[in-house]
Structure 1
Amino acid sequence: MVPLEGRDFLMAGGRLAGTQPRMSRRGVLGAAALACAFSSRSAVASPASGGHLRFAGLVGSAADTLDPARMAVGNDFIRGRSFYDGLVALDDQLAVHPALATRIESDDFVTWHLTLRRGVTFHDGKPFTAADVVYSLSRQRDPAVASQQQFFARDMAEIRAVGPYEVRIVLEEPNIGFPSILALDSFAITRDGTTDFATANGTGPFICTEFRPGIVTTGRRNPAYWGVAPGVDTFSLIAIPDDMSRHDALLSGDVDVIGSANPRLVRLLREHGFGIIESPVGSYTNLGLRLDRVPGSSRDFVEGVKYLFNREQVRDSVFLGFARIGNDHPVPPEDPDYAADLPLREYDPERASYLIRKSGFAEADPALFCSPAALASADIAVVLQYAAQKAGIGMTIRRMPVDGYWSQYWMRMPMSFGNTNARPSLDIAFAQSFASRAPMNESRWSDPRFDQLLLQARRERDGGRRRQICHDMQAMIRDEAGICIPAFTTSLDAFSARVRGLRPDRAGQLMGYNFLRHVRLADDGAPA
């Protein structure tokens, strides 16, 4: 096996294309096998300050869960990353690093050998072993569990313990990016045999002390945590869907941190001494047009709607500049594999009007389904509706409540807005949302050529060739899928002056939902 440090490994195997930093000459030219020998680089612990941290997020409902398999929204992910650990973790640049696995190896990208961390215990005191990994990953394949990542779990043809701290995973097909898949929230490790998730029994830095779905979650520091101890003693997590109420809670001191800060309130928050973390993440709010239903079944209609998007206006008016322009594919401009040579689809109401009238649906007055659950979707819908009116096309906006939006309207209506978080790798982004059998294929787009390119990329060792494949897939999504991605959001998290340790992170909002592992509190009000 050729040992590669965690970051170099991701360039070889965890991303669709090898980019920065460069893999060693030996790693590129001499590797008949690929090994991930994770570095045991020392993490610098923040000074433990103790205290209680209060957080308010955007989405909460009776569907809140402590089951990693079913976690689907931001507050779920925060809970999951506080109470559980995965086999691997992502750093702020989406590179894979060790967590409960200390080494991952593969000769052929089909059979993967995992070496597990010793000396770890669950919150109930049971030692962590290979049996817990086998159980946690295997249950994701059970349709009755309804895992959010069953799509990826099904690719694991065999999951077997070959020792107390050794696991072998055999995939259905080669996948050079498999370690990044293990970073997905659903693959957090639970104790062998767990079926009751009224509380959380994980190995994470916090122990769950209260969980009332849609109301509150609380946790306390795990004194037996195997990693760096968190900087707060306890935390409480609530959801405040109403935008102004959430910001008022921060301004009044009722909470210390809020997610999804409103761009229009950033200046006000800063004037009152609150901090703002700006993270250029790969998250986006998109409009999905189902190609299997009218009016999306008309190629002319779909293309016409794409020309109706005034991308600069979405960036400047909706997000007040806290965004980067998108080009109707899921790769953000800051990504090294972004296809910069693809022409940006410009706002062209005349061409949009021509195409939509040609489709025969100019008088259909289609409905745009949006909700506060999909960040800024109502505002984007207004921009699109105004552009359509200027083109002589009618569109109706249907604003739905947060509760039930994802299960009752998203992907079910002919035209609905979605909200996609940053993905650990481009392979995951493509496979999860654009492959023919993708579980989140919002437009029901299907192209065997795209599926073949995805499989080809997973087998390809050469970084340059993977980059070209990635480029071709971006072009296909842009031109053929029924997805409109006008902008990539800059995540805005707001916090009081007593909160320390928050920093930008490409992995997503609130340091990739990991902020409770890093923050600490201070009462002196000094600058962070």
Structure 2
Amino acid sequence: MSVLRPRTGRRIVALTAGAAAAALALSACTPASDAPTAAPDWELTAETPAPSGDIDSFTWANYAEPYSLDYAYAFDYADNMVLSNVCESLLRLNPDYTLSPGLAEAYEQTSPTTWVYTIREGVSFHDGTPLTAADVVASMSRHLDPAVGSSWYSVYQNVASIEQTGDRQVTVTTTIPDSQFNLGLGGSAGVIESAATLAADGTDYGNSTGLVNCTGPFELSEWKSGESITLTRFDGYWDESLRAKSGEVRFVFMNDATARVNALKSGDVDGSWMLPVDGIPQLQASGAGDVYFGLSTATSNLIVSNLDGPLGDLRVRKALMFALDRQGILDAAAKGYGEVSNALTQESVWGGASATTRDEAFSGLEEYPNDLEQAKALVEEAGVAGQKIVFATAPIGNDFTVVSQATAAAAQSIGLEAEIKTVTPNAYTALFSDPSAREGVDLFYTVWYLSSPDPLEMYGVLRTGEFSNYGNWSNPEFDELATQAVGTMDPEERAKLTSRLQHIANEELPWLPLFAGPMPVFVGERITGVAPSIAFLYYPWAATIGAR
């Protein structure tokens, strides 16, 4: 799956979620017409039982080999589920999607455009050298270097300078007030590496030859290309509360979903994130461990990439929403694990909002029930009957097949002509990074997750001119609100503005929301202690796993 990630100067969230997640999370399922009528019985779990003690080692299945463990390119599930245990960020994104101090023991906004970070004392890299402010400057500055082409550039897009301003102090100056910059430092955008290692390893940094040298509870000790990655406990780790309970973790690369499920059932592998949904009942019945469902920030959506065709008319976008059997799509694509969504965010990223504001954000949204008569009337009113829309898809995962077929059928049922354009995974990736690849394409599918605890991360990408505003949708009221929200530092006030953005997006449909689901994980009978949460991408989740 490494082919699903180009190097780019802008962030391409949908690649990680839309392409890679689909490939690993979903296996064969029945067509929508044969979908189960009853939703599966599941509930969110925040914590698994505490370990009884330490364990020598455990094995974890990764659906693919990481593209890179260079934090500047670590932008997929396969990469970050490993890297999060080895490298650390200035801030720590916790399993409940809150932020707390990480390698920065303190941080302060001293002016609307200035952030000051106090670097933690007593932290060592895995080679034994101490963490310094100079390491922080070197690590962060790579995101601004065009020669690096960081996948996390969007977090730094408003940064004017990164400077050491004291023995343990780093000051970041932005060109405008930017509430999103600091929030982004709990993910890979905030990872700190040894400046000496970066200089010494050069282009080999983060690959199977150069490895990495960070500060996390595990160190990267071996990477066998095409086979496995082994982490060993770092005894010099600074945070006693997250000292690793396992002496070793071995990640095995298992692309085949059936093989992955069989390995978990047999006990050959102790655990895995993002389970193939068809395998969940098998695993639950196997007696080999437990399946848990954790917090997620991802939503499944259709991206409208061409507003010059029929979908440029809001009535047609609404008609397609009314024509889509979204519950049937959820049942077929995800076996009912989740719920139909009318928003492009989950409540999990609204932690900075009051309960009242969060309720306002999700209440009163257009529901778009399955209503073919209303959909047909809108198409006729718009005068586009018989016109064609093109849906791009790829042989990546079963949800791609389900969504593409269901969307084409919905379009045809309301008087539009629909073409499914199947491209290679590489070509599908290009839809997110190359405007020319989107020529002649009206719609494509994504599962879009957020890497910071703020829903504005989602709606900020829909402003006029933003790189990830793939259909070039433009709404002056939306732009004004979004820009105001970016410059609003108070979380509650920013959430109120973002609530309005969510309602506008729900009404104007620049993207068509489908459904949202949990993050599944399997924990074998030998181990326990993991916190089920999509925060495994950035939080050292493996450190908490020990013996049952």
Same fold flag (TM > 0.5): yes
User: In the superposition, relative to structure 1, how do residues 470 and 431 fare at CA in structure 2: closer, same or farther (>3 Å)?
Assistant: closer
1:275 aligns with 2:303: no
* Unmatched 5+ stretches in structure 2: 1-48
Residue in structure 1 matching 2:278, options 255, 264, 272: 264
SS at match of 1:202: coil
Tell me the CA shift for residue 95 of structure 1: 1.3
The Cα shift of 1:438 comes to 3.3
Aligned to 1:380: 403
**What amino acid does structure 2 have at the position aligned with 1:307?**
F
Alignment-derived partner of residue 9 in structure 2: none
Q: Secondary structure at the match of 2:297?
A: strand
Counterparts of 1:200 and 1:501, CA distance in 2: 26
- Partner of residue 85 from structure 1, selected from 88, 93, 98: 88
Does 2:455 align with 1:452?
no
Q: Structure 2: which amino acid aligns with 1:519?
A: I
Shift of 1:129: 0.5
Task: Give yes or no for contact 2:158–2:176 (8 Å, CA) kept in 1.
Answer: yes
TM-score for both structures, normalised by structure 1: 0.81
CA distance in 2, matches of 1:301, 1:123: 56
Q: After alignment, is 391-400 or 174-183 more displaced?
A: 391-400
C-alpha separation in 1, matches of 2:54 and 2:424: 39
Task: Tell which deviates more after alignment, 310-319 or 325-334.
Answer: 325-334
Bigger helix fraction: 2
Say if 1:315 and 1:325, in contact at 8 Å, map to a contact too: yes
- Tell me if 1:319 matches 2:334: yes
Flag the 1:177–1:249 CA change in 2: closer, same or farther, 3 A. Answer: same
Q: SS of the counterpart of 1:233?
A: strand
> Do the aligned residues in 1 keep the contact of 2:54 with 2:245 (CA within 8 Å)?
yes
Q: Secondary structure at the match of 1:114?
A: strand
Per-residue deviation, 1:473: 0.5
- Secondary structure of the residue aligned to 2:186 is coil
3-state DSSP of counterpart to 2:252: strand
Aligned residue among 114, 117, 132 for 2:117: 114
Distance 1:513 1:402 in 2: 29
Deviation at 1:481, TM superposition (A): 4.4
Which one-letter code corresponds to 1:240 in the other structure? M
Distance 1:509 1:396, change over 3 A: farther
Range that drifts further, 46-55 or 80-89: 46-55
Taking the aligned partners of 1:137 and 1:431, their CA distance within structure 2 comes to 25
The answer to whether residue 297 in structure 2 is matched with residue 285 in structure 1 is no
2:521 to 487, 490, 493: 493
Offset of residue 105 of structure 1: 1.0
Query: Does the Cα contact within 8 Å between 1:232 and 1:520 map onto a contact in 2?
Result: yes
Q: Which whole-Å deviations, capped at 9, do the CAs of 1:110-139 have from their partners, x for residues lacking one?
A: 211111111111122221110111111111
The verdict on how the C-alpha distance between 1:92 and 1:399 changes in structure 2, with shifts beyond 3 A counting, is same
Asked if the contact 1:432–1:441 (Cα under 8 Å) also holds between the matched residues in 2, the reply is: no
Partner of 2:249: 235
Runs of 5+ unmatched residues, structure 1:
1-43, 523-528
Distance 1:293 1:132, change over 3 A: farther
RMSD of aligned Cα (Å): 2.9
Of the structure 1 ranges 131-140 and 306-315, higher mean CA displacement relative to structure 2 is found in: 306-315
Q: Is the 8 A contact 1:353 1:393 kept in 2?
A: no
Alignment check: 8 A CA contact 2:273 2:520 kept: yes
Q: Say which of 360, 370, 376 aligns to 1:347.
A: 370
Q: CA deviation at 1:406?
A: 2.4
Q: CA deviation at 1:390?
A: 3.9
Compared with structure 1, are the counterparts of its residues 131 and 379 closer, same or farther at alpha carbon in structure 2 (3 Å cutoff)? same
Q: Does 1:306 align with 2:321?
A: yes
After superposition, the C-alpha distances for 1:264-294 in whole angstroms (9 at most, x for unaligned) are 3322211112311111422122211213564
Q: Is the 8 A contact 2:529 2:544 kept in 1?
A: yes
Q: Which amino acid aligns with 1:345?
A: Y
**Which residue in 2 is equivalent to 1:17?**
none
- Asked if 1:518 corresponds to 2:544, the answer is yes
* Pair 1:132-2:135 in alignment: yes
Could you say what secondary structure the match of 1:112 adopts?
strand
Deviation for aligned residue 1:518: 1.7
Distance 1:495 1:86, change over 3 A: same
Question: How far 1:70 moved relative to its partner?
Answer: 0.8
Asked whether the equivalents of residues 241 and 372 of structure 1 are also in contact (C-alpha less than 8 Å), the reply is no
* 1:473 partner letter: L
1:3-42 to structure 2, matched below 5 A, reads none
Asked if the contact 1:332–1:488 (Cα under 8 Å) also holds between the matched residues in 2, the reply is no
Structure 1 Cα separation of the partners of residues 236 and 491 of structure 2:
41
Count of residue pairs brought into register by the alignment: 474
Is contact 2:98-2:453 (8 Å) kept? Answer: no
Query: Counterpart in 1 of 2:494?
Result: 466
Q: Which residue of 2 aligns with 1:40?
A: none
Secondary structure, aligned partner of 1:136: helix
Deviation at 1:430, TM superposition (A): 3.0
SS in 1 for 2:142: helix
Counterpart contact for 2:461–2:469, Cα < 8 Å: yes
State the secondary structure of the residue aligned to 1:97.
strand
Q: CA deviation at 1:305?
A: 2.4
Structure-2 residue corresponding to 1:58: 63
CA contact (8 A) 2:105 2:118 kept: yes
- Contact 1:349 1:388 (8 Å CA) reproduced: no
What is the CA-CA distance between 1:217 and the residue it aligns to?
2.0
Does the C-alpha gap of structure 1 residues 391 and 295 become closer, same or farther in structure 2, counting only changes over 3 Å?
Answer: closer
- In structure 2, C-alpha distance between the alignment counterparts of 1:80 and 1:448, rounded to whole Å: 40
- Per the alignment, residue 99 of structure 2 pairs with 96
Instruction: State the shift of 1:399 in Å.
Output: 5.4
Higher relative contact order (CA 8 A, sep 6+): 2
Give % identity.
22
Q: Which residue of 2 aligns with 1:203?
A: 215
Q: CA deviation at 1:368?
A: 3.6
How far apart are 1:477 and its partner, in Å?
Answer: 1.7
The offset of 1:448, in angstroms, is 4.1
Report the residue type matching 2:222 in the other structure: E
Deviation at 1:405, TM superposition (A): 4.0
Distance 2:383 2:141 in 1: 47
**Contact 2:135–2:194 (CA<8 Å) still a contact in 1?**
yes
**Counterpart of 1:329?**
344
Letter in 1 for 2:304: L
Displacement of 1:215 in angstroms is 4.0
Cα pair 2:187 2:452 within 8 Å, conserved: yes
